[in-house]
Amino acid sequence: MLILLVPTLLVLPFHGDTGMPKTNKHTEQKEEKEPVTLKKSPVSIPVYRTADRKVEDIPLEEYVIGVVASEMPADFEMEALKAQALAARTYIVRQMVSDQAVQSPKGSLVDDTQMFQVYKSNSELRRIWKDDYDWKIKKVTQAVAGTQGKILTYDHKPIDASFFSTSNGYTENAGAYWTSDIPYLKSVKSAWDKKSPKFLNHKTFTVAEFEKKLGVTLDDSNNIGKITGRTPGKRVAAAVINGKKLDGRDIREKLGLKSADFDWKRKGNQIIITTRGYGHGVGMSQYGAHYMAQDGKKAEDIVKYYYKGTAISKADQFLNKYMAKK
């Protein structure tokens, strides 16, 4: 069941404090010299609102705005926000026309949590952003309008537009994290991420906590275990602790680590684990997209770098197919 669930999970690394360098919001607002008008979509998404426990029909582009605003800070570069808009729209269009591995509550296509994509309404965003609401919603809306009607495809089908916060310097092969390879989700170098405030993290456990969480027993030496393999994305593939073989992803999940690229050391009764990166590592790095945009890359450059061999296509044919089923 977990194998089926995890590929649909999208990381929500930015809820609350973004932890990113401060930018001038007035400068950000001037990035688009010629504003693009957002056209109202005739297609609505039935979204299960978890707080209200009811299904709400939300126009497609309004839904994409709520997702982008929730999944990426508005402080990010405009071209990164556009890349996120393409990923968000692609995700929901894929949900419309593909068999769903994870079922949302009856009557809905998705819910508003990271089980699918995080979505927040204008009123919710206003409460979160407070005095910054006007310029942030304007900027996110501009990013969505700039990509309206467009999605990412591979072999003429919407892709699994997976994304995450920060890489360890490389993205990950889909097959190294999930159960099978996906041709457009291959490991690529993402050196920009080393500038991310989320790149390094340290977590400390007592020996007893470590043993209980992993179901292992450590000896009396300072030795913890040996990392025996790394993935194409330089994350831990396997480790052996006192004779017990463990999967790197399992270690990450059981210990609640930010990343599967980690090193560990023991100091007396404590085990200190240092991780590099934040998230599963498959697909687009959000901080990588932000720094690529700072270097002058456009949204098209960003998505085609992280999603290899994909094309930017019109969503109309897929939307028509969805509407025909209803």
Beta-sheet strands, E only, within 44-187:
44-49, 54-59, 110-111, 150-154, 157-158, 163-164
Q: Global pTM?
A: 0.88
Mean pLDDT of 10-17: 42
pLDDT band at 103 (very low <50, low <70, confident <90, very high): confident
pLDDT of amino acid 17: 38
For 266-279, the pLDDT digits (tens) are 999 999 999 999 99
Q: Cβ of 280: how many Cβ atoms within 10 Å?
A: 27
pLDDT recorded at residue 9: 46
Closest by CA position to 321, among listed 64, 148, 94, 105: 94
Domain spans of the chain, in order of start:
2-194+281-325, 200-276
137 CB neighbour count, 10 Å cutoff = 18
How confident is the model over 29-49, as a mean pLDDT? 77
Q: Which helix (H) or strand (E) holds 143?
A: helix 133-145
pLDDT of 26 strictly over 70 = no
pLDDT of residue 16: 37
pLDDT digits (tens, 9 = 90+) for 88-100: 999 999 999 987 6
